Homo-oligomer: A and B are copies of this chain.
């Protein structure tokens, strides 16, 4: 069956414009109306009664509410919102950017939210639109990278490489993703002949560098860092102390967005599949909108280990 999306594509206009030509022709220029009518005739589109009811109630606009401090999330935010925007546009939707849940939302069909904390729950609950969150949000539909699997991959990789003394460098925040990354590290058993130490500190390369400069690392130390910022600080400390990376110290970061390639050595890291995350967020939201039913489902997307220059298979 020919859909409104097919007509929109053929006429090079948005679905909203097709919907207008059908339902509010007085709001559309003759030129656009003619183009759309031509596409309708060529494709043989037949307007469904139910389709029309839906079409008139849609705005084909999605609000993306970005709650994080941008300075904290800079590298991922630009990419995530771009992927989301591109996927939405393919589906005939526009993205409207918001920065606060206190905004007055109108003329939108649904909400994507990033950076929501436990304290935002009440405000999210008060909103009457379908919502999909980036990051684990137990009361709402959400999409996240599989954080636990990520640090499991990282630790397994260091063990396979032959590092003997494992360090987990975690983030001292009370957030779900932080807990899951720590749990992933713990979920891989440390062999008896190896040692294991856990540190937690603010997510800053300077803090990590200072910490490592203040402790003595035994040869063949392998560090799982909960972020690429922490991995970067670890690497800088190795330079400060003239320790060879990856031969003396191996480092695996987490995120794989931008920072890993700016580092003096490309970081081995756990890559967040932002494109897949964006696609899943859009799919989940649009399916909630079209079914008028919101599934409170947590989707997790598996990450991949990106081999860089900060780990290596050590000689036996």
Given A13-B104, A82-B70, A104-B12: A97 and B99 interface contact (C-beta under 8 Å)? no
Known: A70-B82, A85-B97; 15 extra A-B contacts, CB below 8 A, are: A14-B103, A14-B104, A14-B106, A17-B104, A17-B106, A70-B79, A71-B258, A77-B82, A78-B78, A81-B97, A85-B98, A85-B99, A94-B98, A97-B97, A232-B262
Give the CA-CA distance A3 to B75 in the complex, in Å.
39
Which residues of chain B have C-beta atoms less than 8 A from A99's C-beta?
A: 82, 85-86, 89
B residues in contact with A264, CB < 8 Å: 236, 239, 264
Please list the residues of chain A having a beta carbon within 8 angstroms of any beta carbon in chain B: 12-14, 16-17, 61, 64, 66, 70-71, 73-75, 77-79, 81-82, 85-86, 89, 94-100, 102-104, 106, 205, 229, 232, 236, 239, 258-259, 262, 264
- Nearest CB of B to A98, in Å: 7
Nearest Cβ on chain B to A45's Cβ, whole angstroms: 18
Smallest Cβ-Cβ distance to A70: which chain B residue: B82
Could you tell me if A82 and B66 are in contact, using CB atoms closer than 8 angstroms? yes
In angstroms, Cα B106 to Cα A12, docked, is 13
Chain B residue with Cβ nearest A61: B96
**Cα–Cα distance between A102 and B14 once the two chains are bound (Å):** 11
A95: B residues at CB distance < 8 A:
96-97
- When distances are taken between beta carbons in the complex, the residues of chain B under 8 Å from A74 are 74-75, 78-79, 258
8 Å CB contact of A106 from B16, B75, B205: B16
Q: Which residues does chain B contribute within 8 Å of A259, judged by CB atoms? A: 262
